Amino acid sequence: MRLKTLLVAALLATASVGSAQAEPLKIRLSYIVPVSNWATMLFKTPGLARHLGKSYTFEAIHFQGTPQLITALNVGELDIANLGFTTLPIAITNAGMSDLRIISDELQDGVPGYYSNEFMVRKDGPIKTYEDLRGKIVATNVFGSGTDVPLRIMLAKHNLLDKRDLTFIETPVPAMPAMLSEGKVELIVLPLPFTANPSVRAATRTIGTTGDAVGINQLGMWVVRQPFLDKNRAALVDFMEDALRQERWYLDPANHAEAVKIAADVTKTPPDRWDSWLFKKDGQGGDYYRNQDGKLDVEALQKTIDLQVQYGFVKQPIDVKKYVDYSLVDEAAKRLK
């Protein structure tokens, strides 16, 4: 009788383990800006996410800026962080997260012919040059973000430093146009989709871009911690397969009309605001550059990190190549052929 009881217990334990192993992996991916960050656009295309709900589940989590992602990733509140070229080195050198691995490109700013974040002033305001900002207030989303640091570098090139020559204040990106029009700040840094708003365009003038300040920059890239990657490799390959399939769908001109409708639905804005999104016309792109194979510009990333070291925003240089792992996107791309 005792032997029978033990056998039943063992069978139940085995079934329990098997059930636990069959549980889909929960993947939490961060985003800062709707549409610009893929997290808000994935899984809006029925039938393309073939492994969703089977090997993994998905949750998109909003943050105001990429510096906040470091803490979230460090304490286990996030699985994949869309870090940028300003926050990756801080996470490694300041937060001691040497186990970070870049698994995919998300978007690149400053690529010739594609969109770059804009430094904007009032069209009828007093600011004509960077030097006119002396003694003024400028807005940034979060100190240390991918929109903040390039502006600081551009101003430093014009001998303008925060607290010495002007003042930076943190402001949520959606509130920036109103802050500018009301004269509470004299310059804002806007990403897509906010610069696609006709009323913003009518009231502002662009005096420079992030690309002007730092060149091609890895504004977004998907980063995980090595233990999470090692433990969940199979599910992560499934996720990357689904993600690349969807990204390629968005980047296919044949799907442009449907993609525009999705972007409009996500942002609750008029569809015509998105007509130029993901679309090149007259040599110019209406979106950031996105690599459909998930490969980032490692050389450009290294250059921008070295530039931050030069200007004192990062304490020490890092060798970016040590933190890049293409194994997931390479396997995912093979499946898509």
Q: Across the strands, what pairs with 120?
A: 188, 206
Alpha helices, DSSP H, located in the chain: 2-22, 67-74, 87-93, 148-157, 176-181, 198-203, 210-214, 226-231, 233-251, 256-267, 298-310, 327-336
Nearest Cα residue to 328 out of 103, 55, 105:
103
212: its two tokens: 């002007």
pLDDT of residue 3: 46
Superfamily of domain 23-109+217-336: Periplasmic binding protein-like II (3.40.190.10)
- pLDDT (tens, 9 = 90+) of the chain, 337 residues, equals 554 544 444 444 444 444 445 799 999 999 999 999 999 999 998 889 999 999 999 999 999 888 899 999 999 999 999 999 999 999 999 888 999 999 999 999 999 989 999 999 999 999 999 999 999 999 999 899 999 999 999 999 999 999 999 999 999 999 999 999 999 999 999 998 889 889 999 999 999 999 999 999 999 999 999 999 999 999 999 999 999 999 999 999 999 999 999 999 999 999 988 888 876 544 445 899 999 999 999 999 999 999 999 999 998 999 999 999 999 999 999 999 8
- Is the Cβ–Cβ distance between 44 and 124 less than 8 Å? no
Whole-Å CA distances, 12 to 2, 3, 6, 18: 15, 14, 10, 10
Secondary structure string (H, E, C) spanning 267-279: HCCCHHHHCCCCC
Whole-Å CA distances, 273 to 158, 180, 222, 261: 34, 21, 27, 10
- Indicate the domain borders of the chain: 23-109+217-336, 118-214
pLDDT of residue 272: 86
* Helix, coil or strand: residue 264: helix
Whole-Å CA distances, 125 to 131, 169, 182, 267: 14, 19, 11, 29
118-214 to CATH, choices 3.40.50.300, 3.30.365.10, 3.40.190.10, 3.40.1390.10: 3.40.190.10
pLDDT of residue 285: 56
Cα angle at 281 between 276 and 287, to 5 degrees? Answer: 45
- Is the Cβ–Cβ distance between 102 and 108 less than 8 Å? no
Fold match between domain 23-109+217-336 and domain 118-214: yes
pLDDT of residue 280: 57
Whole-Å CA distances, 215 to 5, 33, 117, 133, 206: 69, 21, 11, 22, 17
Chain centroid offset of residue 64 CA: 11
Check: pTM over 0.95? Answer yes or no: no
- Is the Cβ–Cβ distance between 291 and 108 less than 8 Å? yes
**C-alpha to C-alpha distance for 322 and 319, rounded to whole angstroms:** 6
